[in-house]
Chain A
Amino acid sequence: MNFAERIAEKIKKEKIKPLSPWYFSAKNWIFWISFFLSLLLGSVAFSFLLIALIQNEFVPAMMILPFLWIGTLAILITSAWYFVWHTKTGYRIPSWIWIGGNVGVSMILGALLYFSTFDHWQDQMMRFSGMKNAQEVFWSRPEEGFLSGTLALENEDIILIDKMHQKWYLRFSEKVQKKHPLLLKQLSVSKRQEIFLPPHPVKIQGVIVAKDMFLVEDMKPLMRGKMREEKMQFIPVPSAKLHLLPSNTPLSPL
């Protein structure tokens, strides 16, 4: 009995069967799917990193978040590389191209996620992680230019009621007029003698110009990730005034 026959004999004796082609096909698919999932999750991690960096940079409790997301992103990029390396032909492309490409794609997709459809998830995550309170604390420092609360009307004037129930009379600067024309259009439909107020809390960046009076430089929803005013919800309120002022206009308390 020669060597080849001995092998055949052993295979028959031990009843060794070839693994099904489906097994290898499924294995290859699983690695590719895992790769794309890691890539996708990496993009999500990057968009969370952007939120942590851009929106919460001054909140001490949030300082650790960017590092957490960088760590998550690094783990996901490494696992994506591992998965692709185990596909049938993944090894043919050098690791640095896979890793570099993965970082690039995660950043692009993550940025797209951040700037487009991320509002809802961000709100959920913030609520889930207790970031809402942190946001409120951060945006409750009017003397430093950060104010938050709910918009309302008082004697035809738009006011903001903050979490301490203090009323702030709002004036809208030239800057905010240029930056958010649509917001102001929504807030001021003077011809129809009604304005639209967002029912949800807003955050305002600006400066105290007089007692209980705040000059608005920027305004966006408190729990929203970006400043697209068309995404803000508005409810119509009849007969109100909107004070649009150049930012250097001298103001006196009401």
Chain B
Amino acid sequence: MNILPIDITNAQNGDMDAFTRIVEESQKPLLRYIMRISHFSEAQAEEILQEIFIKAWRYINEYDASFAFSSWIYRIAHNTTISEFRKSTARGEDKKVNWEPEEVEAVASGLNLEKEINQKQTQEIVRHVLSFLQEKEKEVLILRFLEQKTYDEISDILQVPVNTVATNLSRAKKKFLETLSRHYPAFSPLFV
């Protein structure tokens, strides 16, 4: 996401062309992020993305240059998606993790599991184990290992202290390994 500061300033002054450039630049990573933290299909995710950009336009003057713009727009994306995700899970829709193999690889790599991750079976296991993690744990793993965000950026996106980010990440890793050893005892030695 490479958004020019001048486009942000112009968009804050009501320049729709500048805002359109911001949308073009950020739509792909945000769409991917929506799909990663939810179970939504691409069509559903696009609808949510549209809602996110309309909110971003409405709240564009809330953005403060002391933050990274990407953190600000990720925060809107996160809050909107989670809100929609909760509504849909309350309706009893499926909660399974629909990640691409390379996404599973990225998380597994972050958890130092890359040695075995190329095997298809292992990817399935990682995907299954991830489905046991809580929302908070999963989202911090996604932001760290898939979106490549720093602790400070994650803190700004999730609006929690940096220490909490570190704690949640550490807890997520621990829980991942515990779940793995509980459900796949034969595999756990491979990941340690």
Spot the interface stretch: B76-84, B139-147, B156-164, B175-183: B156-164
Q: In the complex, are the beta carbons of B59 and A11 less than 8 A apart?
A: no
Interface size on B, residues (CB 8 A): 28
Contacts of B59 in A (CB 8 A): 18-19, 24
> Once the chains bind, are B46 and A19 in contact (CB under 8 Å)?
no
Q: Which residues from B are CB-within-8-Å of A7? A: 20, 23, 50, 53-54, 57
Among residues of B, the one whose C-beta sits closest to the C-beta of A94 is B161
Find B161's partner among A2, A12, A17, A92 (CB 8 Å cutoff): A92
| Interchain CA distance A202-B62 in the complex, whole Å | 59
B58 in the interface (beta carbon within 8 A): yes
How many A-B residue contacts, CB cutoff 8 Å? 65
Q: Is the CB of B27 within 8 A of A93?
A: no
- Complex Cα spacing A18 to B24, Å: 19
- Contact at B16–A3, with CB atoms within 8 Å? no
Residue from A3, A8, A23, A91 in contact with B159 in the complex, judged by beta carbons closer than 8 Å: A91
A18, B12: Cα distance in complex, Å: 8
Measured CB to CB, the closest approach of chain B to A83, in angstroms, equals 15
Cα A91 to Cα B61 with chains together (Å): 20
With a CB–CB cut-off of 8 A, which chain B residues contact A16? 54, 57-58
Bound complex: CA of A36 vs CA of B19, how far in Å?
37
Q: Does B60 contact A (CB under 8 A)?
A: yes
Partner of B24, one of A4, A10, A91, A92: A4
- Residues of A contacting B24 with CB < 8 Å? 2, 4
B102-139 contacts to A, CB under 8 A, are none
Is B38 close to A, CB under 8 A?
A: no
* 8 A Cβ contacts from A85-116 to B: 88, 91-94
Query: A-side interface residues toward B, CB under 8 Å?
Result: 2-8, 10-12, 16-21, 23-24, 88, 91-94
Q: Which 10 residue pairs across A and B have the least CB separation, nearest first?
A: A4-B23, A21-B61, A91-B159, A94-B161, A24-B62, A4-B24, A4-B20, A18-B60, A7-B53, A8-B20
